[in-house]
Amino acid sequence: MSVDEGPSAAQRRAPTLEAVAELAGVSRATVSRVVNDSERVSPEAREAVTAAITALGYVPNRAARSLVTRRTDTIALIAHERPDTVFADPFFASVLRGANQALSLTQLQLVLLQVQGDQQRDRALRYVGNGHVDGVLLLSLHGDDTLATSVSKAGVPLVMAGRLLTGEVVDSVDADNVGGAGLAVRHLVATGRRRLATIAGPLDMSVGVDRLRGYTEAVLEAGLPDAATRIAAGDFTEAGGRAAAARLLAEHPTLDALFAASDLMALGALRALRAAGRRVPEEVAVIGFDDAAPAAYTDPPLTTIRQPVERLGQEMVRLLLRRIGDGPGEPVAVVLPTELVVRSSA
Amino acid sequence: MSVDEGPSAAQRRAPTLEAVAELAGVSRATVSRVVNDSERVSPEAREAVTAAITALGYVPNRAARSLVTRRTDTIALIAHERPDTVFADPFFASVLRGANQALSLTQLQLVLLQVQGDQQRDRALRYVGNGHVDGVLLLSLHGDDTLATSVSKAGVPLVMAGRLLTGEVVDSVDADNVGGAGLAVRHLVATGRRRLATIAGPLDMSVGVDRLRGYTEAVLEAGLPDAATRIAAGDFTEAGGRAAAARLLAEHPTLDALFAASDLMALGALRALRAAGRRVPEEVAVIGFDDAAPAAYTDPPLTTIRQPVERLGQEMVRLLLRRIGDGPGEPVAVVLPTELVVRSSA
DNA sequence: CTGAAAGCGCTAACAT
DNA sequence: ATGTTAGCGCTTTCAG
């Protein structure tokens, strides 16, 4: 048995302002005022209108409104990813969740713009640049910054995650990656480790750069200059982490702790260590950053530096809303705290 | 240094049809015809218009168009989740990716409607019911079907993932869960296992029901009626899987194979087995369904039944587009094949 | 094949 | 405090 469809929504025309006005015995303008709860409207009028609205099930027509106000009540989330990349990135999903949450307090809608090739890039840019959205959230997973500046140049409010490596400053929200990496190092040192090494992320992304910098600064501060030289590059993937760990292990057989700049790389490191017959954490402690991939899935659970990914999404929206409301101004860079989450005895 | 913002997009008005018409020396109507590449337009006119369009960088104003056509060129993805649920579900992200991919071939935009409480539910329903979108993709993670029927009743084209348990039929795309579970059982039996048990998913979701049914039918067919009684309920989470496995193990200490109806539950089972000192897969083989959670993260990698999650998203969009284009008709239920992916010697 | 004209439903001056 | 009016940019009859 199929669900009864009735007349399609496109056919059965929704009630208009006009209808509400008539039923309430006022003018369209008054109804509009009530709907946008602006200006002074007499209590009686307001009540009559409200009643009519509920009676009719009136919902404002977004298109009509948008046509005159030039606002769209819509913001775009642009995820710029290379063809090879996983859109199913848990980081992305968590940010999305946070953003949606913050947005659910407003009347705004979120549209998703996935950018892969140059063609999609241009399409997204045109879409955004032509007033189809009130603002843009940019998740530039690859530190590719031309999108950010393009959007910004188009005069559309923009908030990005992370920061640009070019030195240009746009509104952004980021986790305290430098501080977090320091946290990891100090934890390892405090638990007696001395021969540290790190698996760094891609250095064309601010997050990769910052986590490496945090590591380096902290090991130097701890009086472990050698550790600052034990660096292997990873690419934020499990395979990359595994390979990097294997290399480090080969070059520095005596290392007793590994800081991986991402959760997936930490997982890879764990595997490499196991494959090499090293015991974790007895022989080699592993600590990773937590980018929302299931770090807790590892066995044993790895100690991690947690960044508040969901909150990051929330803050991005909050900042964007502020910018949309207040207009342009000095760019703001919000930095969210990171946190050490001890999960094993490492 | 901050990015130069210039006049905001809202201020600097985008070129209109009118402008294009003037530059091309034709009427607005002709430009409109060219833009919608419809009707007969003389080659010369078409060319002049095209040139003017590129010269001006014209992009149609969606709001204006939508106002008259009553189409929105927008479809909504509704994810209905209970408060406790993970939006960061890898399944969701993969479906999203697939949907976006299919959509990128069109001019449609995707808006995301996250539904958590009743309030958000109603809001989404009003939004959808009032012609703000041309169609709806429903990811009812919890088998809650009232949303589906509500949307359908509102006359808005709808495609859901999975199927309704009420027996109502709406357009849907689903993986072959029954067949997949059968695949798992036959694989286990073929590799010499005889004392099977299953960790079932929630039975208020079609996916839970179907995977259990597939298991049951297959073990009966294999002449293992006892296996049909060894069922523990899980909730698709790692913790649930772990607890269920522990229970099964306690009741049936001699079991030699476990079919988990989700990847996370398979992971939980793996942990429970390890905690109980059982070796995997030597003593107990574990096989799980692959819902896009990182099943490959387990160590050893688990053999899984893969469902094509990304394609599911694509097919949902395709079906929806067809429905939007062709209008109502007999509901279609697309079933996607599942596949055995052998990863260990289990 | 093309143009003129009439709105789509709403908001925002401007009156009153 | 409320009503009147003039569009927003586009599509779509209807004439020609």
Which candidate, A78, A100, A79, A69, places its Cα nearest to that of A157?
A78
Res. B344 pLDDT band, cuts 50 70 90: low
Domain range enclosing B204: 177-306
- Asked whether residue A340 is assigned to any structural domain, the reply reads no
Containing H/E element for B113?
strand B109-115
Residue B213: inside a domain: yes
Q: Are residues B58 and B107 in the same domain?
A: no
Q: Give the pLDDT confidence of B23-42 residue by residue, as tens digits.
A: 999 999 999 999 998 767 88
Considering only alpha carbons, which residue of chain B is nearest residue A62? B132
Residues A171 and A183 in one domain: no
Q: What is the pLDDT of residue A1?
A: 46
Q: What is the CATH number of the domain that holds A265?
A: 3.40.50.2300
Same domain? For B157 and B187 the reply is no
Band of the pLDDT at A4, cuts 50, 70, 90? very low
A17 contact to strand C (CB, 7 A limit): yes
Same domain, yes or no, for B272 and B325?
no
Measured CA to CA, the distance from residue A218 to residue A98 in angstroms comes to 31
Q: Is B119 on the interface with A (CB under 8 A)?
A: no
| Tens-place pLDDT, residues B154-205 | 889 999 999 999 888 999 999 999 999 999 999 999 999 999 999 999 999 9
Task: Answer for B23: CB within 7 Å of strand C.
Answer: no
pTM of this structure:
0.87
User: What percent of chain A has a predicted confidence (pLDDT) above 90?
Assistant: 61
If you measure CA to CA, which chain B residue comes closest to A127?
Answer: B59
The minimal CB distance from A14 to the residues B111, B114, B131 is found for: B131
Structural domains in chain B (count): 3
DSSP state of B89: -
- Judged against a pLDDT cut of 50, whether residue A272 lies above it is answered with yes
Tell me the pLDDT tens digit for each residue of A153-170.
888 999 999 999 988 899
Instruction: Mark whether B227 and B146 lie in a shared domain.
Output: no
Quick one: average pLDDT of A100-109?
88
B202 close contact with A: CB closer than 8 A = no
A44 closest-nt by C1' vs CA: D1
What torsion do the CA atoms of A23, A28, A33, A34 make, to the nearest 10 degrees?
A: 10
Whether the pLDDT of residue B236 is over 80: the answer is yes
Contact with chain B for residue A41, Cβ under 8 A: no
* Chain D footprint positions (protein CB, under 7 Å): 1-5, 7-13
Closest residue (CA to C1') to nucleotide D9 in the complex: B64
Question: Measuring from the CA of residue A27 to each C1', which nucleotide is nearest?
Answer: D3
**Whether the Cβ atoms of residue B52 and residue B23 lie closer than 8 Å to each other:** yes
Which residues of chain B lie closer than 8 angstroms to A112, CB-CB? 96, 100, 109-112
Contact list, A169 vs chain B (CB under 8 Å): 1-3
Q: Does a structural domain hold residue A329?
A: yes
Same domain, A62 and A85: no
Residues of A in contact with B97 (CB under 8 A): 87-88, 114
Which comes out higher in pLDDT, residue B318 or A239? B318
Distance in angstroms: CA A49, C1' C9: 17
- Coil, strand or helix at B19: helix
User: Is A274 a domain residue?
Assistant: yes
Residues 6 or more apart from B253 whose CB is under 8 A from it?
none
